[in-house]
Amino acid sequence: MEGHPYSPKDLNLPGFVPNFLPPSTILGVFAAAFAIVFSVSWILPGLVSKTTKLERLLVCWFTITGLIHIIVEGYFAFSPDFYKDKTGFYLAEIWKEYSKGDSRYASFDSAIVSVEAVTAVIEGPACLLAAYAIATRKSYRYVLQLAISLGQFYGLVIYYITAILEGDHFAVSPLYYYAYYIGANSPWGFIPFLIIIRCWRKICQSEGRNKIKTK
Amino acid sequence: MEGHPYSPKDLNLPGFVPNFLPPSTILGVFAAAFAIVFSVSWILPGLVSKTTKLERLLVCWFTITGLIHIIVEGYFAFSPDFYKDKTGFYLAEIWKEYSKGDSRYASFDSAIVSVEAVTAVIEGPACLLAAYAIATRKSYRYVLQLAISLGQFYGLVIYYITAILEGDHFAVSPLYYYAYYIGANSPWGFIPFLIIIRCWRKICQSEGRNKIKTK
């Protein structure tokens, strides 16, 4: 049995193959992809319709989070053997690296896989639809953003509660715990939360105005 | 080690105490409570405001599901030792009985407990608020119903995907599998689904009308 760097040490991962790429390269490729997607999704809505800066930021958010859900999390949810990858495939490299912050990915924990599958298959495509709906000002744009953000928030809550219930001992060190397990997930804690509040208000205002006008 | 009736047989439940009440009594008490809550929540909204039959049915649904979330599921989420109960306490009896259809309750599986905790603590009180909001026609009534129903639906999806990923072998027999694991959960499959569709449409209509009127 080959060794692995993950916590807990007695985790059984037969056939584990270590990372080929250093963390800096993995993060660098991710940052480059992020910058490209951000730029394109910032420019495109402006060509289609009149959008405010906030709306364009939201288009960027939903495009980026949607692509991460579909590509990065989608790969994970259907690749139980990613930790055996011998080709240096980038998406396997990401999850081998991230598992240092949460080994439940390497062990393909069923709660993690369930949440990731829902996120990849349902929320991912819905995010891209939301980006389109915001850019083209569809009447379902608020309710769709709300539904997605509630789902992302629910998934994150389950992610952390299951970890706490099982002892919260899945990170290699405090560095990985805070950088990966807490840090890398933090955007999905506060951004969906802000979007929920905004869309909730927009929907209630619209409902309230409607009530007055139809009287 | 005392024996238990659950599946799989090698599940370790030290100190297990069998049910005191027969299934018919457990179900009978539940049915009686259901009838009382249904009647009260059917009559009350009519005294407060003009509500349609559909709205009164929705008040009944959110009152009943809210009380089940808070009382029945709330008890479970914070009682890891319910299977040791020696007093014949009704809520422990419910879960001892239901565990015949899904032993992950008896074993206090972390995915189950996470979903049940969110359901009991967040969705339960939100359901009672929704019943109130529908009866008094608050402007947030649709968005609140939608948010709750999405949460209930998400929880159910995680409930079933985790079971499938772990082999779906948690029921004592096909009878318990279909009666408890599938049957008892089925209302939370289709009712939230219908409510999501209805509220989604109401919100989009309102948004659409508003757009025209404010032009």
- Residue-wise pLDDT for A118-145, tens only, equals 999 999 999 999 999 999 999 999 999 9
The pLDDT score that the predictor gives to residue B95 is 98
The pLDDT score that the predictor gives to residue A1 is 47
Q: pLDDT of chain B along its 215 residues, tens only?
A: 458 999 999 999 999 999 999 999 999 999 999 999 999 999 988 887 788 999 999 999 999 999 999 999 999 999 999 999 999 999 999 999 999 999 999 999 999 999 999 999 999 999 999 999 999 999 999 999 999 999 999 999 999 999 999 999 999 999 999 999 999 999 999 999 999 999 999 999 998 887 766 54
Check A210 against B209: CB less than 8 A apart.
yes
d(CA B212, CA B206): 10
* Å between A23 CA and nearest CA of chain B: 31
Taking CA–CA distances from B206, the nearest residue in chain A reads A207
Residue A47 — very low, low, confident or very high, per pLDDT cuts 50/70/90? confident
The pLDDT score that the predictor gives to residue B1 is 47
Name the residue among B159, B192, B154 with its Cα closest to residue A118. B154
In this complex, the residue of B110, B155, B207 whose CB is nearest that of residue A206 is: B207
The C-alpha angle A201, A207, A212, rounded to 5 degrees, equals 125
- Numbered residues of chain B with Cβ closer than 8 Å to any chain A Cβ: 110-111, 113-115, 117-118, 139-140, 142-143, 146-147, 150-151, 154-155, 157-158, 161-162, 165-166, 200, 203-204, 206-211, 213-214
**DSSP state letters, A159-206:** HHHHHHHTTS---SSHHHIIIIIIIITTHHHHHHHHHHHHHHHHHHHH
User: Domain locations in chain A?
Assistant: 23-214
Check B154 against A151: CB less than 8 A apart.
yes
Name the residue among A168, A62, A151, A68 with its Cα closest to residue A114. A151
pTM: predicted TM-score of the whole model, two decimal places: 0.95
d(CA B187, CA B210): 34
Check B210 against A211: CB less than 8 A apart.
no
The pLDDT score that the predictor gives to residue A214 is 54
Number of H helices, E strands in chain B: 9, 0
The pLDDT score that the predictor gives to residue B48 is 78
Distance of CA A81 to the CA centre of its chain: 21
Residue A213 — very low, low, confident or very high, per pLDDT cuts 50/70/90? low
The pLDDT score that the predictor gives to residue B118 is 98
- B-chain CB neighbours of A166 within 8 Å are 110
Check A142 against B110: CB less than 8 A apart.
no
Phi-psi bin for A137: left (phi > 0), alpha (psi -120 to 50), beta? left
The C-alpha angle B154, B164, B19, rounded to 5 degrees, equals 90
Amino acid occupying residue B95: W
In this complex, the residue of B114, B117, B142 whose CB is nearest that of residue A207 is: B142
Residue A2 — very low, low, confident or very high, per pLDDT cuts 50/70/90? low
Distances (CA, A) of A45 to A65, A70, A148: 17, 21, 20
- CA torsion, points B44, B50, B51, B52, in degrees to nearest 10? 130
In this complex, the residue of B115, B203, B213 whose CB is nearest that of residue A158 is: B115
* DSSP category for residue B122: I
Check B200 against A166: CB less than 8 A apart.
no
Distances (CA, A) of B106 to A24, A158, B166: 45, 19, 16
Preceding peptide of A8 cis, ω within 30°: yes
Number of H helices, E strands in chain A: 9, 0
The predicted model gives A160-166 an average pLDDT of: 97
